């Protein structure tokens, strides 16, 4: 039985991490910390467990084996590194950190301590994405030539635990990045997963077009990111992340191959549609993608615990996650400089 500590008791902890740990027979949550002590106390009362006055105090508890870090972006690295050094396995929410240097330090610390460091890239565990990867590997649509992958919704101001126009997601100091960190990192990681490639060049516009704070000023982080990615194999495609889709959420990916086209989560009825150039159409009704309004089990927590129990390598390890973060930071640099940026991947 793995004893778990929750660091950050906001929305993502409440709808994903805590319920999924509670549903896993091999885990027990024994501690909670949040900078809002009342929020931590609510979780402690509801699910049982000790409430700590600081994350440092929680990490000193030798009974805790692993932690979920569900805080604002700017302290992901600080707390993850401290947790690893305290001998805890770490599951950190995305984005991994707010600078490449922080990401590298997290990976280095995990290696030095021999502890697991996983990042919450849940799109890899969506059933249609797993099936799509299988079909791609089987050669159903041939060699992938190009792609477009999109993640857009109306923004985090209704999703956050403290809803409204002053959510921490809009705060440059706490979030560092906006739609790119919230949504773009998911689809960047996903396209690397589906293609089996890494991004080696990024050309992007990462901008603020519409979101405003309570004073009516444009927010300090991006609300749109439109990126052209070149992959290691020569595949080229687009990744779009937006907080300005003021209608239905779009979480689709379309892959264009030498034998046909595969659309994933692009149709309300079928989670995968394959249109082959010989005229054959194939439809898969597998599942519906998670949305902010319709939460389903992510699979991340079960995978985390399975890795700990079986001592197996994780596909969402810090080593894997940093590959997507390199593309994110390159895209931001591209937008600032107005030129394409080569992504240095190990």
The CATH number of residue 66's host domain is: 3.40.50.720
> In angstroms, what CA-CA distances link 214 with 72, 166, 242?
20, 6, 20
Q: What pLDDT score was predicted for residue 298?
A: 86
Residue keyed to tokens 């190009």 = 146
Q: Do residues 55 and 92 both lie within one domain?
A: yes
Q: Do residues 306 and 288 both lie within one domain?
A: no
Q: How many CB atoms lie within 10 A of CB 335?
A: 21
Q: Do residues 146 and 259 both lie within one domain?
A: yes
Q: Is the peptide bond before 226 cis (omega within 30 degrees of 0)?
A: no
Closest to 117 measured CA to CA, from 101, 130, 103: 103
Q: Do residues 114 and 158 both lie within one domain?
A: no
Q: Do residues 108 and 136 both lie within one domain?
A: no
Q: Do residues 180 and 244 both lie within one domain?
A: yes
Q: Do residues 20 and 80 both lie within one domain?
A: yes
Q: Is the pTM of this model over 0.85?
A: yes
Q: Do residues 168 and 32 both lie within one domain?
A: no
Closest to 253 measured CA to CA, from 123, 154, 125: 123
SS3 assignment, position 243: coil
SS3 assignment, position 71: coil
Q: Do residues 67 and 207 both lie within one domain?
A: no
Query: Please, what sign has the CA dihedral across residues 288, 294, 296, 301?
Result: positive
Residue keyed to tokens 């995978």 = 303
Q: Output the tens digit of pLDDT for each of the chain's 346 residues.
A: 999 999 999 999 999 999 999 999 999 999 999 999 999 999 999 999 999 999 999 999 999 999 999 999 999 999 999 999 999 999 999 999 999 999 999 999 999 999 999 999 999 999 999 999 999 999 999 999 999 999 999 999 987 777 778 899 999 999 999 999 999 999 999 999 999 999 999 999 999 999 999 899 999 999 999 999 999 999 999 999 999 999 999 999 999 999 999 999 999 999 999 999 999 999 999 987 665 555 567 899 999 999 999 999 999 999 999 999 999 999 999 999 999 999 999 8
DSSP code per residue over 278-316: TS-EEEE-------SSS----SHHHHHHHHHHHT---TT
Q: Do residues 89 and 127 both lie within one domain?
A: no
Q: Do residues 334 and 306 both lie within one domain?
A: no
Domain that holds residue 234: 123-296+322-342
Domain count, the chain: 2
Q: Do residues 61 and 208 both lie within one domain?
A: no
Separation CA 225–CA 256 (nearest Å)? 22
Domain CATH number, residue 258: 3.30.360.10
List the Cα angle 211/181/256 in 5-degree steps.
Answer: 100
Q: What pLDDT score was predicted for residue 236?
A: 98
């Amino acid at each position: 039985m793995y004893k778990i500590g929750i660091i950050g008791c906001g929305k993502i902890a409440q709808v994903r991490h805590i319920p999924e740990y509670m549903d896993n027979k091999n885990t027990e949550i024994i501690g909670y910390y949040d900078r809002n002590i009342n929020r931590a106390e609510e979780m402690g009362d509801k699910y049982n467990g000790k409430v700590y006055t600081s994350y440092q105090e929680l990490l000193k508890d030798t009974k805790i084996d692993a932690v979920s870090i569900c805080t604002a972006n700017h302290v992901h690295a600080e707390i993850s590194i401290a947790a690893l050094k305290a001998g805890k396995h770490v599951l950190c929410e995305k984005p991994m950190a707010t600078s490449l240097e922080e990401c590298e330090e997290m990976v280095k610390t995990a290696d030095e301590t021999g502890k697991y460091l996983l990042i919450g890239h849940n799109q890899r565990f969506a059933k249609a994405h797993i099936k799509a990867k299988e079909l791609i590997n089987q050669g159903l649509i041939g060699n992938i030539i190009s792609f477009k992958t999109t993640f857009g919704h109306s923004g985090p101001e209704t999703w956050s635990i403290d809803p409204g126009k002053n959510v921490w997601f809009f705060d440059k100091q706490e979030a560092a990045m906006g739609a790119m960190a919230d949504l773009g990192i998911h689809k960047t990681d996903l396209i690397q997963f589906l293609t089996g490639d890494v991004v080696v060049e990024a050309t992007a516009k990462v901008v603020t077009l519409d979101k405003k704070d309570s004073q009516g000023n444009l927010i300090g982080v991006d609300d749109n990111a439109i990126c052209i990615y070149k992959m290691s194999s020569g595949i080229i495609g687009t990744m779009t992340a937006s907080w300005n889709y003021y209608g239905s959420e779009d979480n689709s990916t379309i892959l264009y191959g030498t034998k046909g086209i595969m659309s994933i989560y692009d149709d309300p009825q079928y989670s995968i549609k394959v249109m082959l150039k010989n005229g054959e159409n194939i439809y898969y009704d597998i599942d519906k993608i998670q949305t902010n309004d319709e939460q389903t089990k992510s699979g991340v927590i079960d995978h985390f615990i399975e890795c700990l129990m079986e001592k197996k390598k994780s596909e969402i390890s810090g080593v894997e996650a940093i590959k997507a973060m390199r593309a994110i930071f390159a895209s931001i640099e591209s937008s600032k400089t107005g030129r394409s940026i080569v992504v240095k991947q190990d």
